[in-house]
Structures are given as C-alpha cells and as structure tokens.
Structure 1
C-alpha cells in the first residue's frame, strides 16, 4: 500500500509545507539522510504543557506537528513513498517545571510515524522538557529520515 493510500485511510490531509521562520533551511539531505528543521503544531497554539495544556492536548499537538513534518518531507521528495525509514526524533516540550510526562506528549508524534509508515516508522528518539520554546509553542520536534535520493 502506498503512503498516500495510507494517509487517505487514516483521514489525514497534509497541509502545504510551512516555511522556515528565519534564515535556515526547512530540510537538508546528506548521504541519504533528510534532516528536518524543528517544526511545531499548526494553528500557532501558545502555552506550556502541564499548565495551559494537558498531557492529552500535548499528545494531539505532537501528532499535529508530525503532520507538519510530513508535509515538509512530501514537498521535498514529491512522495512519502521515498521515505525508507524514520531514523531519529527529538522533541522539545514547553513544559511547566513540575511536568513529568514529556515522553507521553511526544508519543503523539511517534504514534503517527508508526501509523503512517508501519515498521519503517520505528525510530530512535529523545525528549526534553523545556522552560521556553520559540513563539511559546507547546512542542517543537526535529527529525531525521532515511530517504531515496
């Protein structure tokens, strides 16, 4: 099954790829690895998980961030079928100092990668609770994909 068919089955419509917020590239491809710059959720939500947002809301923001990342990957490659593997995910959760569940928030991103790519979506990852993120976003994720060039 193609990834496009899988997205349709999951009722996911990818938006247009967002543009970088400053003077950097949305992505860089080196030796078959695609490094995607940090992305946040669409709609520009603002606030901290564990304060303004619950873990469940953070999970949904992380999943939405994954959709934003997939839009960049598709825009760059022309097709998500050129993704051989999701390699690494690093999440930064804008968290209240007492919030202890950033890993549960990032599961929204990880679960989406598994839903879309199956076994190719299994990846290494790290997650950090942050005291502040750009534009007060609740989450920012950067990621690495192995791709066909």
Structure 2
C-alpha cells in the first residue's frame, strides 16, 4: 500500500475500485506527465447513495461528504493509470460541479470536501487551483461530480 493510501486509511476511508464508465469514455487518461480524470460521481457499490439538488433534497454538509467520495473515486482512477498514488508530484486542479437549487451559493464549501481530503493525504503536493460550479443537473441525479488533474513522475 502506498503512503497516500496509508493516509487515506488513517482517516478511516478506503480507496475504492475504479468506477466503471457510465458511457463511452475512460475514467482517466495520461498525457505526458499529467493524468486527467473524467468527472467522478460519488458512486458507492455501483450506485449514487444520495440524489437530488443541494439546497433542496441534499444538505450542504451531506454534499461535502459526497465530494470526498467523488475525489476518492478520482484518486482510484489516477491509480488505475499510474499504478501508485505516491507517483503524484502535485495536484494541479480540481473541478467540482454541484447540482444545486438556483438560490444555493455554497458550491465552494461543498467542493471543500474534495480539496480538504486532497490536502490531508498529499500535503503540499495537494495545493491546487480549483473551480466550484453550480449546475442544474448531473448524471444519475448525483448532487456532486469531481474531476482532478495531477502531475505524476515516471
């Protein structure tokens, strides 16, 4: 197990298996020193555990937890391409999409779930640029979707 995975385990979390694509795409692709993930939903055992809009059916706190699940799925996608998360040199960018009601403006707080986990398990390597975007709807009526871009060595 990698040091990054040890840190994930120390938080009481587990790196999941890669979520199979829901359509025609790859969970992650490598181009040179960079790995780009597709958007990752908060899938657990093949399903989205909570559906709906943040600000209506889903609380901001629950959505923040779902962002953690989504970024774990993104890390699993990165691992599937590079074999070991300890090869991450830095997280370059996180993009978070939050399906929310028109009056909900807390998207950055929701996406903090992903950013905070990345910071905890990668330290300085996890310092990243970020976008947090509110959208009308996401696939499978998921409340959150996260994609990451990382630089890797070797």
**Structure 2 stretches lacking a partner, 5+ long:** none
- The separation in 2 between residues aligned to 1:125 and 1:4, in whole angstroms, is 23
1:56: which partner in 2? 61
Aligned 1:64-83 pairs, distance under 5 A:
64-83=69-88
Corresponding position of 1:19: 20
Q: Tell me, yes or no, if the aligned pair for 2:54 and 2:60 is still in contact at 8 Å.
A: yes
Q: Give RMSD over aligned pairs.
A: 1.3
Provide the residue aligned with 2:91 in structure 1. 86
Structure 1 residue runs of 5 or longer lacking an equivalent are none
Structure 1 position 78, deviation (Å): 1.5
Cα drift, residue 83 of structure 1: 0.7
TM-score, structure 2 normalization: 0.92
Q: Which runs of at least 4 in structure 1 moved beyond 4 Å after TM superposition?
A: none
Paired position in structure 2 for 1:46: 51
8 Å contact kept, 2:51–2:58: no
Counterparts of 1:60 and 1:4, CA distance in 2: 18
* Matched residue, 2:107: 102
Structure 2 Cα separation of the partners of residues 135 and 8 of structure 1:
28
| In 2, Cα distance between equivalents of 1:92 and 1:123 | 16
Q: Once the 2 structures are TM-superposed, how far is the Cα of residue 132 of structure 1 from its aligned partner?
A: 1.1
